[in-house]
Amino acid sequence: MPRIAPGTPEAELPTPCLILDLDALEANLDRMADAARAAGMRLRPHGKMHRSVDLGRAQMARGAVGLCAQTVGEAEVFVAGGIGDVLVTNEVRDPAKLARLATLAAGGARVGLCLDDPAAVAPTGAAAREAGATLDAWIELMCGGRCGVADPAAVAPLAAAIAAEPGLRFAGIHAYEGSAQHLTGDAERGARIATAGERVRAALDALRAAGIDCPQVTGAGTGTWQHEAASGLWTELQCGSYAVMDADYGRIEDPQGQRLDQGWRNALFVLAQVISTPVPGRAVCDAGLKSMSGESGLPLVWGQEGVTATGLSDEHTVLDDPAGALAPGDRLRLIPGHCDPTVNLHDAFVCVRNGVVEAV
Ligand SMILES: *Cc1c(COP(=O)(O)O)cnc(C)c1O
C-alpha cells in the first residue's frame, strides 16, 4: 500500500482500502461501554475482530477489564501493546504455545486460556510453574457444539483439579454461544441463550455443591449480549463486532425488532473505485475477495440507494445499478459481509473522520 498521509481526503485514497470511520467507531465503543456499565457487567471485548492494539486501548480507556484473543499470537501482540489482561478464548494444547502464554504471564500480565479436558490441567500448570507464573484457567462449557465440557456436572471436578494445580488459578466459566449470534430473529437467539443459560446454571450448581467459588461467567457476542445480560448468570461480555459492524450483523433484529445497523453504526468499509460500466445497469469496482471476506454474503453499498452487489470475485465486485448512477472513477464505500476475516486481509486501518484521513 502506498504511504498515506494524515490529511489525505478519502476521495483520493488508493483503492481497495480498508477504512475505519472514527466517529462511528467511537460512538459504538461508547455505546457498548455504557450498556455494560448499566447492566453491571464487565466488558472484555473480543480482539480477534480488530487485532489492533490501538483499538484495544480505546476499549480499555472506556472501562473494559481486558481483551479476549483467539490465538496465542494475538495475546502476545496485545500484551506487548500494554493490554494487561488477556483471555485466549480457546483451548491450547501445544507445549510451545503454553510456554509462550506462561512467558506473558511471567512478565506481569494477567493471561487466561480455556480448558475442557482434565488431561490439560497438568501440562498447562507445569508450563506456568516453569515460567514462575500463574495462568488464569477458564473452563469452557460447550454451548452450540464447538469446544467445551459437554456435561455441566463435569465442570466441578475439573475446577477442583485446576484449584489443586499451583500454576493455575480457576477464573470461572467461559460459555459462548457462537452459533446463535447471527440468527436473524431476536427471539430465536434468546431461546438459544436460554438453553445455554440452563447449562451454565447446572455448572454453577455443581460448583456450589462442591464448595468451589466461581469468580466469573464470561461469554456473549454482538448478536446475543442483551440475553446474557438479562439472565443474571453471566458476569462478563465478550462482544467484538459491535465496534465496527458488518453487513451480516446489520440485517439481524435487535430485541425491539429494529435492524442492528439502526442502533450500531457501520464504521468499517472497503473503499473501492468503479473501474467499468460495461453495459447499462452494471458497474464493476476494484475490490473483491482479496480485500473482503465473502463467506457471510455479498457486501452492501453505503449510501447508494438502489445499487446492490451481485457478484464477488478475486479483485472485482459486480454491482447492479439500474438507474445508472455510477460512473467510472467513482469511489464507493462497501460494507463487508463479515468484519473479522475482512480486517484480517489488511495490514492497516486507514482512519477517517469527516472524509479526511486522521491516522493510519
Ligand atoms: C468472536 C467471539 C466473540 C465476539 O463475537 P462478535 O459476534 O464479534 O461480537 C466473543 N467470544 C468468542 C469466544 C468469540 O469467538
Between CA 333 and CA 215 the distance in angstroms is 44
pLDDT tens across 191-234, in order?
A: 999 999 999 999 999 999 999 999 999 999 999 999 999 999 99
Residue 145: predicted pLDDT? 79
Between CA 207 and CA 211 the distance in angstroms is 6
CA 177 / ligand 1 centre spacing (Å): 9
Top mutation candidate among 48, 146, 268, 344 for ligand 1, by most atoms within 8 Å of CB: 48
The answer, as to whether pTM is greater than 0.85, is yes
- Contacts of residue 262, defined as CB under 8 A and 6 or more positions apart, other chains included, come to 254
CA 154 / ligand 1 centre spacing (Å): 24
Cβ of 218 below 6 Å from ligand 1: no
The three-state secondary structure class of 32 is: helix
Angle in degrees, CA 352, 83, 242, rounded to 5: 45
H or E segment at 138?
A: strand 135-140
pLDDT tens across 76-117, in order?
A: 999 999 999 999 999 999 999 999 999 999 999 999 999 999
pLDDT tens across 338-348, in order?
A: 999 999 999 99
CA distances from 138 to 54, 91, 174, 335 (A): 26, 10, 6, 35
DSSP letter (8 states) at residue 4: -
Of ligand 1's atoms, which has the minimum distance to the CA of residue 221?
A: 9
Q: Assess whether pLDDT exceeds 80 at residue 181.
A: yes
Residue 277: predicted pLDDT? 98
pLDDT tens across 10-55, in order?
A: 999 999 999 999 999 999 999 999 999 999 999 999 999 999 999 9
CA 246 / ligand 1 centre spacing (Å): 14
**Residue with CA nearest ligand 1 atom 11:** 238
In which band, very low, low, confident or very high, does the pLDDT at 1 lie, cut at 50, 70 and 90?
Answer: low
Q: Is 57 exposed, middle or buried (0-12, 13-18, 19+ CB in 10 A)?
A: middle
Tell me the chain's radius of gyration from C-alpha atoms.
Answer: 22
Half-sphere exposure of 52 (CA within 13 A, CB side): 20
pLDDT tens across 233-259, in order?
A: 999 999 999 999 999 999 999 989 999
Between CA 251 and CA 272 the distance in angstroms is 22
